[in-house]
A and B are shown apart, each in its own frame.
Chain A
Amino acid sequence: MNGAVPNSRPVASGTTPVVIGVLLATLFVSATVAVMIGPVSIRPDVVWRVALDHLNPGWLSQTWQAFEASIIWEVRLPRVLLAAVAGAGLAVVGATLQALLRNPLADPYLLGTSAGAALGAVGVLLFGASVVGGLSISVAAFLGALTAIVAVYVLAWQDGRFPTGRLVLSGVAVSYLFSSVTNLLIFRVPSGEQARTALFWMLGGLGSARWDALMLPTVVVAAGTCTLVTFARALNALSLGEEVATTLGVDGDRFRRIGFLIASLSTGVLVAVTGGIGFVGLMVPHFVRLIVGADHRRLLPAAALTGAIFLIWADVLARTIVAPEELPLGIVTAFAGAPFFLWLMRSRGRSGWAS
């Protein structure tokens, strides 16, 4: 694309610890600032004093107001942490699926997850929990995601394997099917306000962030990311193709199954809590690949941190731009992220898939 740019990786592997260090520091600062910002401004030291006080009560002398503690601990901190967990999880799953499916357009929702979750959630939102047996929105969303994922894998199954092409096609087809039902429900609902609520859920948001809703996604994303990082060499080989991976000593079928399981489970758990936050899982891996290269031993940790930072800031925008109202997070991620990504792609020239 740009002849003046060398066709080599932008960052040498020796600088990886520096990149990870900078990202960790940025994540810490971002999380702190994100908790400070809101209708009530809070000083940075108070943020961490309150957090530490909750972890170890009575340890610090109380220099904050009770309402500050309640805002930090009950509202903002769980929300910022959920943003970090969701951002990290979506970015890691996106990078993994792009490698396993060898498809630069793969994102966490490609295999039906978000369409299934949307149908479950919208069903509860529009018709009330009684219709679906008293389920909460997030449980219904998770069951919807699970149904869609199972349908995709069953349909793609052939001769004991999941061929890549069939997996993508059944993912797309099942997504369309579930979406058509969801859209029909929204279209037929008499109240415009209800339709708006359903649409808001589908575009994603972190309004439901509470400590008890944080536990499961955190555990699943952390365990999944760690497992994928230990398989980073296998992911590298698999992104060259399944047959090549086999000749490089990677049991392709086994790693693909583990990879898809982790990807589907993480996405299902996240989408149930946050709705379908677009862009993060698709673009953050590409963005990070432009910086650290394609080796998954560097790519996955860097993508996790970058996804976390990106979603923390996207959520800050979502809750401040039209305060006291909130924008759906999916709108902010795409609106803020797409131009930035395009600028980076054009300025870095040839490297990675974006060449």
Chain B
Amino acid sequence: MGIVKVDVRDLSWAVANTQILVDVALSCPNGAFVGVVGPNGSGKSSLLRCIYRVIKPGSGSVTIDGRDVWDLTSRALARDLAVVVQERPNETAFTVREVVLMARGPHKKLLERDTPDDHRLVALALRRVGIEALGERMFDTLSGGEKQRVVIARALAQEPRVLVLDEPTTHLDIGHQHQVLDLIRALGLTTIAALHDLNLAAAYCDQVVVLHRGSIRARGAPSDVLTADLVEEVYGVRAALGRHPLTGRLHVFVDGREGKPMC
């Protein structure tokens, strides 16, 4: 299974004269975990949507192993790249297993049936995220966290080489947040994830990209990028950096109560 490199070059995108993304560039090397952080409205989701080819940027390019995503069909892209998005369907009448089985679609020819291999991959994906017992449940009846894990299982069953995740830990309790990110790290896929929680970003990412008002404010290893000044500037909260008492890892402490006014 080959691992791939994702490159974003000089990406700009505007909607009705509002610049959403301005000259964004990032490189996600083979098998690396790149975290995209930044406040609400900084352009994280838009950047990811450009990468998974739902938004066509005004200028710039996204390439996977040197191939522009817009030169691929959606089927071809979906065989290489799986997406976990914030927006989830409600009001569906599908079971969990059916939702995860949809991951096999891009690997199928027209009218090709599901094979035992497909069912095995689905069962494996459900087991990996710890919801094998929920396979026959109706998707709609699950809790937010369970749904999130179903969507992650679907991404796994897609057998991608690149994972793009938009807030994959939203709706998860702290235990499952770490379980899911541990799992994603262990997969060793080239991964780009938008994350709200700076401490999760510090713990799991090889590289962090800080977006602020559509531009990249900083990028690099978490310990180099996540400074008190930067967190204060970008998020408008007072911040201090320290070490986690258990792990010794970088930890960001914030106090928003006397923070600077949002600008």
Q: Which residues of A contact B (CB under 8 A)?
A: 7-9, 102, 104, 230, 233-234, 236-237, 239-241, 243-244, 246-252, 289, 293-295, 350-353, 355
Contacts of B79 in A (CB 8 A): 249
Report if B140 contacts A (CB, 8 A). Answer: yes
Contact across chains for A293 and B93 when beta carbons are under 8 A apart: yes
Contact across chains for B93 and A230 when beta carbons are under 8 A apart: no
Report if B187 contacts A (CB, 8 A). Answer: no
Across the interface, name the chain B residue whose C-beta is closest to A252: B74
Chain B's nearest CB lies how many Å from the CB of A8?
A: 4
Contacts of B111 in A (CB 8 A): 230
Report if B117 contacts A (CB, 8 A). Answer: no
Chain B's nearest CB lies how many Å from the CB of A102?
A: 7
Report if B98 contacts A (CB, 8 A). Answer: yes
Contact across chains for A248 and B105 when beta carbons are under 8 A apart: yes
Interface residues of B in 98-149 (CB under 8 A from A): 98-99, 102-103, 105-106, 108, 110-111, 136-138, 140-141
Chain B's nearest CB lies how many Å from the CB of A97?
A: 15
Chain B's nearest CB lies how many Å from the CB of A116?
A: 29
Partner of A351, one of B93, B98, B99: B93
With A and B bound together, what is the CA distance between A355 and B77 in angstroms?
A: 35
Contact across chains for B93 and A352 when beta carbons are under 8 A apart: yes
With A and B bound together, what is the CA distance between A293 and B52 in angstroms?
A: 30
Contacts of A240 in B (CB 8 A): 89, 92, 94, 99, 102
Contact across chains for A355 and B140 when beta carbons are under 8 A apart: yes
With A and B bound together, what is the CA distance between A237 and B83 in angstroms?
A: 14
Q: Which of A9, A241, A248 gathers the greatest number of chain B CB atoms within 10 Å?
A: A248
Q: Which residues of B contact A (CB under 8 A)?
A: 49, 52-54, 73-79, 81-83, 85, 87, 89, 91-95, 98-99, 102-103, 105-106, 108, 110-111, 136-138, 140-141, 158
Contacts of B78 in A (CB 8 A): 247-249
Contacts of A246 in B (CB 8 A): 52-54, 74
Contact across chains for A351 and B74 when beta carbons are under 8 A apart: no
Chain B's nearest CB lies how many Å from the CB of A91?
A: 16
A248-B102 in contact given A8-B95, A230-B111, A355-B138 (Cβ < 8 Å): yes
Contact across chains for B77 and A350 when beta carbons are under 8 A apart: no
Q: Which of B75, B83, B87, B102 gathers the greatest number of chain A CB atoms within 10 Å?
A: B102
Across the interface, name the chain A residue whose C-beta is closest to B155: A247
Across the interface, name the chain B residue whose C-beta is closest to A299: B93
Across the interface, name the chain B residue whose C-beta is closest to A99: B92
A351-B138 in contact given A244-B85, A247-B83, A249-B75 (Cβ < 8 Å): yes
Chain B's nearest CB lies how many Å from the CB of A289?
A: 5
With A and B bound together, what is the CA distance between A294 and B78 in angstroms?
A: 23
Contact across chains for A249 and B74 when beta carbons are under 8 A apart: yes
Contacts of A250 in B (CB 8 A): 74-75, 105
Across the interface, name the chain A residue whose C-beta is closest to B99: A240
Contacts of B83 in A (CB 8 A): 247
Partner of A247, one of B85, B91, B95, B110: B85
Contact across chains for A243 and B106 when beta carbons are under 8 A apart: no
Contact across chains for B106 and A249 when beta carbons are under 8 A apart: yes
Contacts of B91 in A (CB 8 A): 102, 104, 353
Across the interface, name the chain B residue whose C-beta is closest to A9: B95
Contacts of B85 in A (CB 8 A): 243-244, 247
With A and B bound together, what is the CA distance between A230 and B112 in angstroms?
A: 10
Other 6 A-B pairs with CB < 8 A, given A241-B87, A294-B92: A236-B105, A240-B99, A248-B106, A252-B74, A295-B94, A355-B138
Across the interface, name the chain B residue whose C-beta is closest to A236: B102
8 A-B pairs (CB sep. < 8 Å):
A233-B105, A243-B87, A246-B74, A250-B105, A251-B73, A351-B93, A351-B138, A352-B93
With A and B bound together, what is the CA distance between A9 and B136 in angstroms?
A: 7
A247-B82 in contact given A240-B99, A293-B95, A293-B98 (Cβ < 8 Å): yes
Chain A's nearest CB lies how many Å from the CB of B147?
A: 11
3 closest residue pairs by CB, A with B: A249-B106, A249-B78, A352-B93
Contacts of B158 in A (CB 8 A): 248
Chain A's nearest CB lies how many Å from the CB of B45?
A: 11
With A and B bound together, what is the CA distance between A252 and B74 in angstroms?
A: 9
Contact across chains for B141 and A7 when beta carbons are under 8 A apart: yes
A237-B82 in contact given A8-B138, A355-B138 (Cβ < 8 Å): no
Across the interface, name the chain B residue whose C-beta is closest to A295: B98
Contact across chains for B94 and A236 when beta carbons are under 8 A apart: yes
Contact across chains for A239 and B110 when beta carbons are under 8 A apart: no
Contacts of B52 in A (CB 8 A): 246-247
With A and B bound together, what is the CA distance between A102 and B92 in angstroms?
A: 8
Q: Which of B76, B95, B158 gathers the greatest number of chain A CB atoms within 10 Å?
A: B95
Chain A's nearest CB lies how many Å from the CB of B7?
A: 20
Contacts of B81 in A (CB 8 A): 247
Across the interface, name the chain B residue whose C-beta is closest to A290: B93
Contact across chains for A293 and B73 when beta carbons are under 8 A apart: no
With A and B bound together, what is the CA distance between A237 and B82 in angstroms?
A: 14
Contact across chains for B105 and A237 when beta carbons are under 8 A apart: yes
Contacts of B98 in A (CB 8 A): 9, 236, 293-295
Contacts of A247 in B (CB 8 A): 52, 54, 78, 81-83, 85
Chain A's nearest CB lies how many Å from the CB of B15?
A: 11
Chain B's nearest CB lies how many Å from the CB of A309?
A: 21
With A and B bound together, what is the CA distance between A279 and B81 in angstroms?
A: 42
Across the interface, name the chain B residue whose C-beta is closest to A247: B83
Contact across chains for B137 and A8 when beta carbons are under 8 A apart: yes
With A and B bound together, what is the CA distance between A355 and B76 in angstroms?
A: 36
With A and B bound together, what is the CA distance between A248 and B73 in angstroms?
A: 11
